């Protein structure tokens, strides 16, 4: 499978962000991509404290103009596109939602489970946590599990996706800059790949607030391709045989002694 991860800097107007998506999708199609992973929350920029309320204002339903236009862009194409938006939730907040689009259709959606209430931020003030099961989709014969940004800090979700058959994790993100934050990103992408002997295709929004640093990591934790801080695409051939070979050489999934339960805790509840 030919995989691309793309990054750009979101701006306040969703139509401008849609043009950025179109530009990256056109490049991905020209390069023969089966999968294109774009960043989290690309309807609008949400930078400083004074802008965070705009998450609610900019949210659109899955049949709204942004997703409809992006879906139409995929019609007749080869690539499955995974990207993040904010979607009205019905309780005054929004869901942080991933959409998977292919050939003009909405293939799947995943609403973020783990909210970024960390490092002084409070995503839960504006975003409602989902309580849906993990989502795995088939892309060109590869099983791809969906995760969003802060989810990468929770290895049990990645393991649940591996248990559900995932050979790759697709991770749209908007990883906020901060002390050691880029190191956290790199370590955890490699760790989730190694723990589950799966590929990780991670797209990070770039710009003044977020690190970018999109990358594709193989099942033995090696970075196969990466970007720095500028907009663009990173590419890799993410073939299932590499996954199978890694799982034969490093059978951690077969050797483990503990199961991971899909039972969800309430936000803030200790097990």
pLDDT, position 267? 76
Choice among 21, 149, 198, 206 that is catalytic: 149
Choice among 40, 87, 123, 205 that is catalytic: 40
Choice among 21, 87, 112, 206 that is catalytic: 112
186 is catalytic: no
Q: What is the pLDDT of residues 94-106, one digit of tens each?
A: 999 999 999 999 9
pLDDT, position 269? 78
112 is catalytic: yes
Q: What is the pLDDT of residues 175-220, one digit of tens each?
A: 999 999 999 999 999 999 999 999 999 999 999 999 999 999 999 9
DSSP string covering 211-257, please? Answer: ----EEE-TTS-EEEE--SSSEEEEEE--HHHHHHHHHHS-HHHH--
- 91-95 average pLDDT score: 95
Which alpha helices (DSSP H) does 32-125 contain, by range? 54-58, 65-74
Q: If you average pLDDT over every residue of the chain, what do you get? A: 95
pLDDT band at 265 (very low <50, low <70, confident <90, very high): confident
Is the pLDDT at 263 greater than 80? The verdict is: yes
149 is catalytic: yes
- 134-157 average pLDDT score: 97
| DSSP-derived 3-state class of residue 184 | helix
pLDDT, position 211? 97
For residues 125 and 52, what is the distance between their CA atoms, to the nearest angstrom?
Answer: 9
**Rg value, the chain, Cα:** 17
| DSSP-derived 3-state class of residue 42 | coil
Is the pLDDT at 44 greater than 90? The verdict is: no
DSSP 150: G
pLDDT, position 51? 62
pLDDT band at 47 (very low <50, low <70, confident <90, very high): low
CATH topology of domain 2-247: Nitrilase/N-carbamoyl-D-aminoacid amidohydrolase (3.60.110)
């Amino acid at each position: 499978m030919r995989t691309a991860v793309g990054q750009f800097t979101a701006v306040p107007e969703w139509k401008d962000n849609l043009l950025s998506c179109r530009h990256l999708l056109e490049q991905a199609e020209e390069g023969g991509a089966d999968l294109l992973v774009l960043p989290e929350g690309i309807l609008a920029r949400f930078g400083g404290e004074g802008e965070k309320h705009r998450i609610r204002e900019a949210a659109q339903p899955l049949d709204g103009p942004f997703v409809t236009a992006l879906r139409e862009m995929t019609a007749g194409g080869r690539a499955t596109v995974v990207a993040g938006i904010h979607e009205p939730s019905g309780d005054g907040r929004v869901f942080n939602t991933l959409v998977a689009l292919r050939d003009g259709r909405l293939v799947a959606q995943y609403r973020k489970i783990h909210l970024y209430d960390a490092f002084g931020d409070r995503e839960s003030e504006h975003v409602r946590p989902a309580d849906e099961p993990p989502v795995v989709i088939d892309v060109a014969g590869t099983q791809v599990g969906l995760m969003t940004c802060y989810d990468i800090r929770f290895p049990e979700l990645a393991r649940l996706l591996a248990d559900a058959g995932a050979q790759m994790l697709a991770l749209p993100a908007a990883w906020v800059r901060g002390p050691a934050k880029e190191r956290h990103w790199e370590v955890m992408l490699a760790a989730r790949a190694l723990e589950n002997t799966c590929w990780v295709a991670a797209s990070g929004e770039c710009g003044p607030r977020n690190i970018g640093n999109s990358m594709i990591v193989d099942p033995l934790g090696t970075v196969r391709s990466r970007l720095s801080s500028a907009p663009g695409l990173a590419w890799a051939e993410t073939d299932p045989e590499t996954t199978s070979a890694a799982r034969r050489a490093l059978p951690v999934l077969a050797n483990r002694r503990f199961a991971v339960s899909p039972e969800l805790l309430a936000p803030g509840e200790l097990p």
